[in-house]
Structure 1
Amino acid sequence: MTDPADVAAAPHALHLWADDRKVATLGYDALNDRWSLDYDPDWMAAPSSFPLSPALPFQPLSGGYAVGSVKRFVENLLPEGRALDVTATTYRISKSNIYALITALGTETTGAFRFWRSDDVPPAVAAKPAREVTREELDQRLASLDQMPLAVWDGKVRMSIAGVQDKLMVYLDRPLNDGGRLFLVEPPLASTHILKPDPARPITPHLVVNEHFCMCLARRMNLPVAEVSIYRTPRPVLVVRRFDRALVQGAAAGAAHGNGAPSVRRLHIIDAAQASDLPESGKYERNLGNGEHVRHIREGVSFEMLFERVDQTINKAAARMTLLRWALFQFLIGNCDAHGKNFSFFVSREGLEPAPWYDLVSVVQYAGISHELAMAWGDAFLLEEVGAFNLADFAQRCGIDRKLLKREATRLAKLVVEHAPAQALAEEYVDESERAFAAQLRDFVVGQAARLVALADEATKVKAKFL
């Protein structure tokens, strides 16, 4: 806990809430860029309570939290790229003003907590019926993405989750194939799904099909992955079910009519950057870039750092296996952009637990964007340069037995060969170009499966003295 004097002295403050319970007070001194955090005693005493992250426990070591830990946690909740630009422009604040940004966007962030004015409490009842987004209106907005990002509706920015891609958070009253409708959310209602439209840019064709294929392939392989579907306006939109939200059993879904208000419980998750107490800029292993004079600096999230989070988990053996499978699956699909904010953990008082996987994309299908790996296999930062020694080096750094690595690589490769052909024929891919792209993905992952088996076998033969 921060020194209470620091909290009291902070000129600005927000309260953090988890559903209807006050969690903590966040203090901010703009002149000195000082942040403070003070947990509410009643929250700490509750058996079901939990801290924001391992770096921000209820009882920190003597001297308080590490300098910058509170700011780093908050920074990782904010959107990036164009969505951040639009937020700053809309609210007339600097993109570097983290406190102002979370004040503007903090009522519906990733995880359990809502950031609220310290002189107010979150409403228990919605002020007005939820705002429906029809298929036709969504299609019109998708047609004008170049002029107005999807996150902005009715003059308000409605995206407060990390990431660069255009997204929109919505409440879905029932499955779309059962006549479900989409609604924008206002407190106290939380979103249940994320819409990710196809950017329709020549540099990344069929991005929705790409992510849908990879996510559904993982599900066919019985890997822990978020649920996805494709919604057409008729433009393709990937619909991702939020695993940090749970519709309360028996809650009515009359959002459109303002009666029987739905109830969505927020579940707390943090990404690997937050779990590692790193800023958003640390999501890539080469956190300073790949320039000639800085490429040797690797202070961001690496596989080694990711596996170090196992010590923070409740079931360490299960967590280590999940991380190994996640890493191998990224190799199989060619996701070179699998960075530290693309893996998350549920948070409880007892510790961390790996969350379902998300943002699975075969980035190597797109020649026009960088294929440098977000996390190196050993010292290899390009997929085509990964050899048996790099896999052995990866295992050594991450504390993985190489025989286990070989066994899991062989098992996952077999499942890819079994399920990728069926996924390529999925009925969701509706025209010749989409089916051709899915076939391209099928051929790539099957080829990667054969390569992974051979490399994993050779990795077991690398002498330990060379590692």
Structure 2
Amino acid sequence: MALRTADILYKDRLAGALTETAGRGTRFTYAPGWTEDIACCFPAVRREHEWARGLHPFFEHLAPEGWLREQQARVAHVIEEDDLGLLLRYGADCIGAVSLRLPDEIAPAPEITEATASPGRTVSGIQKKLLVVKDGNGFRPAASQGLAPYIAKFNSERINTLVRNEALSLRWTAAVLGANEVTKFELAHVSVVEETALIVSRFDRGARGEKLRLEDCAQILCKPRGQDYAGKYDAAYEDIASIIKRYSARPPIDLLRFYRRLLVFALVGNCDAHLKNFSLLETPAGLRLSPAYDVLNTAIYDGFDQTLALTIGGRKVNLDAADGPLLRRFGLEIGLPTRAVDQTFSDLKRQVRKAAPIITPPAAEGPDGFVTRFAEIVTNACLRILGE
């Protein structure tokens, strides 16, 4: 089989080339004269970056997962396991500032027009999702050209409360941490799909659609995705703290933001806060911890793993064991001052009291109602962690 090559663009400028190697790996090579890092794992002082087996994890984590992966593979007639093949067809608009295209000397593939395959664009994540644009009072799938400033996230066939859950989780998290700490979102109808979705504003795009650098922690750590998508769980929360210390333009501030966020994730029952749910975002000051996203009360679903997604102190921690002493100790071990840890707990106690109306069940809802069960999980976690 012929070895394939892709042009690698950074903010739509040719930055280098990605080539398959004879040993079934891949090699990224910077273009002559290029001096800017396109990613934490690709320092430009080193001109070539090789990965021995398969697609380099940085690019692998740009590829779609789950429902969108199935859609895109089917429409493009690409083998579902072929990450590079999918990115060559859909990688013109990836999350972040890096994109892929066929070299000029290779004839372009037939244009993809099916709206639910996000032609020319891709977004990672297991959940059913599409890139969308505003259309009157609702939204519609984005075409292959033009802006695509929003991500629509839908319910799955198995769980019909995902949209409601994430909307409530984000709203409560924003009330506790502050609105600027959480991605902007709304609920709206998406035509063609004909469903109501959680619409998330992309913070990796500027006001005029300009691409901003955004890297998740799985990319930064070069964690292979794995056939079962388990690579994003193969790490510790201490690793995220180390990333912030090394790459953030404001390490002390972002370390505290990360710590506060992790506590709130434990309070809201979010056991799925894995490496891809923490990212560094380009700002005028440099790379900073991005707003929170993909926040979900997973503890509400029977059969879902009730352990935190990453390890703490070298071990997996059950949600019920994530208590105040453990999380205080974690804050100190990642280098936060005692006064910062104490202040965090004090602030969160005050904010969860203010946020209580958001998760107050409707008067007509029974004891097994969604909001009732959601509130019970949060209330128990607040008692366990904050003593509130």
Give me the TM-score of the superposition, normalised by structure 1. 0.70
What displacement does 1:396 show? 4.8
In the aligned structure 2, how far is the partner of 1:411 from the partner of 1:349? 28
Q: Are the structure 2 counterparts of residues 370 and 392 from structure 1 closer, same or farther at C-alpha, using a change threshold of 3 Å?
A: same
Contact kept in structure 2, 1:17 and 1:23, CA below 8 Å: yes
Q: Which runs of structure 2 are paired with 1:201-350 in the superposition (5 Å)?
A: 201=158, 204-221=159-176, 222-223=178-179, 224-232=181-189, 235-248=195-208, 264-281=209-226, 300-310=234-244, 311-347=246-282
Gaps of 5+ in 1: 1-9, 45-49, 132-151, 249-263, 288-299, 456-467
What displacement does 1:314 show? 0.8
- The letter for the 2-side match of 1:302 is A
Gaps of 5+ in 2: none
Contact kept in structure 1, 2:259 and 2:331, CA below 8 Å: no
- The letter for the 2-side match of 1:23 is A
Q: Are the structure 2 counterparts of residues 72 and 172 from structure 1 closer, same or farther at C-alpha, using a change threshold of 3 Å?
A: same
Matched, 1:417 2:353: yes
In the aligned structure 1, how far is the partner of 2:265 from the partner of 2:105? 44
In the aligned structure 1, how far is the partner of 2:307 from the partner of 2:257? 24
In the aligned structure 2, how far is the partner of 1:356 from the partner of 1:156? 24
Once the two structures are overlaid, the 10-residue window that deviates more, 78-87 or 407-416, is 78-87
What displacement does 1:66 show? 5.8
> Which of the two has higher C-alpha Rg?
1
What displacement does 1:345 show? 0.8
Q: Partner of 1:184 in structure 2?
A: 142
Q: Are the structure 2 counterparts of residues 243 and 280 from structure 1 closer, same or farther at C-alpha, using a change threshold of 3 Å?
A: same
Matched, 1:12 2:4: yes
Q: Are the structure 2 counterparts of residues 244 and 397 from structure 1 closer, same or farther at C-alpha, using a change threshold of 3 Å?
A: same
- The letter for the 2-side match of 1:213 is L
In the aligned structure 2, how far is the partner of 1:38 from the partner of 1:349? 27
Contact kept in structure 1, 2:116 and 2:130, CA below 8 Å: no
Q: Partner of 2:76 in structure 1?
A: 91
In the aligned structure 1, how far is the partner of 2:232 from the partner of 2:329? 18
- The letter for the 2-side match of 1:419 is A
Matched, 1:28 2:12: no
- The letter for the 2-side match of 1:168 is L
Q: Which runs of structure 2 are paired with 1:75-114 in the superposition (5 Å)?
A: 75-114=60-99
What displacement does 1:375 show? 1.5
Percent identity between matched residues is 22
Q: Partner of 2:42 in structure 1?
A: 56
Q: Which runs of structure 2 are paired with 1:369-384 in the superposition (5 Å)?
A: 369-378=304-313, 379-384=315-320
Matched, 1:391 2:327: yes
Q: Which runs of structure 2 are paired with 1:420-435 in the superposition (5 Å)?
A: 420-422=356-358, 424=360
Once the two structures are overlaid, the 10-residue window that deviates more, 277-286 or 71-80, is 277-286
- The letter for the 2-side match of 1:52 is I
Contact kept in structure 2, 1:108 and 1:160, CA below 8 Å: yes
Of 362, 385, 388, 1:452 maps to: 385
In the aligned structure 2, how far is the partner of 1:107 from the partner of 1:155? 14
Of 155, 158, 162, 1:198 maps to: 155
Q: Partner of 2:132 in structure 1?
A: 170
Secondary structure, in 3 states, of the residue corresponding to 2:92?
helix
In the aligned structure 2, how far is the partner of 1:232 from the partner of 1:91? 27
What displacement does 1:336 show? 0.4
Write the deviation string for residues 89-118 of structure 1: whole angstroms up to 9, x where unpaired. 443433333321211221121111221111
Q: Are the structure 2 counterparts of residues 285 and 197 from structure 1 closer, same or farther at C-alpha, using a change threshold of 3 Å?
A: closer
In the aligned structure 1, how far is the partner of 2:207 from the partner of 2:144? 16
Contact kept in structure 2, 1:190 and 1:266, CA below 8 Å: no
Contact kept in structure 2, 1:228 and 1:239, CA below 8 Å: yes
In the aligned structure 2, how far is the partner of 1:266 from the partner of 1:424? 39
In the aligned structure 2, how far is the partner of 1:387 from the partner of 1:183? 42
In the aligned structure 2, how far is the partner of 1:160 from the partner of 1:306? 25
Q: Partner of 1:292 in structure 2?
A: none
- The letter for the 1-side match of 2:151 is I
In the aligned structure 2, how far is the partner of 1:306 from the partner of 1:156? 31
Secondary structure, in 3 states, of the residue corresponding to 2:72?
helix
After superposition, the CA RMSD in angstroms is 3.4
What displacement does 1:119 show? 0.7
What displacement does 1:207 show? 1.6
Contact kept in structure 2, 1:377 and 1:394, CA below 8 Å: yes
Write the deviation string for residues 110-142 of structure 1: whole angstroms up to 9, x where unpaired. 111221111179x9xxxx9xx9xxxxxxxxxxx
Contact kept in structure 1, 2:281 and 2:289, CA below 8 Å: yes
What displacement does 1:372 show? 2.4
Q: Would you say how many aligned residue pairs link Structure 1 and Structure 2?
A: 372
- The letter for the 2-side match of 1:373 is L
Secondary structure, in 3 states, of the residue corresponding to 1:246?
coil
Q: Are the structure 2 counterparts of residues 235 and 160 from structure 1 closer, same or farther at C-alpha, using a change threshold of 3 Å?
A: closer
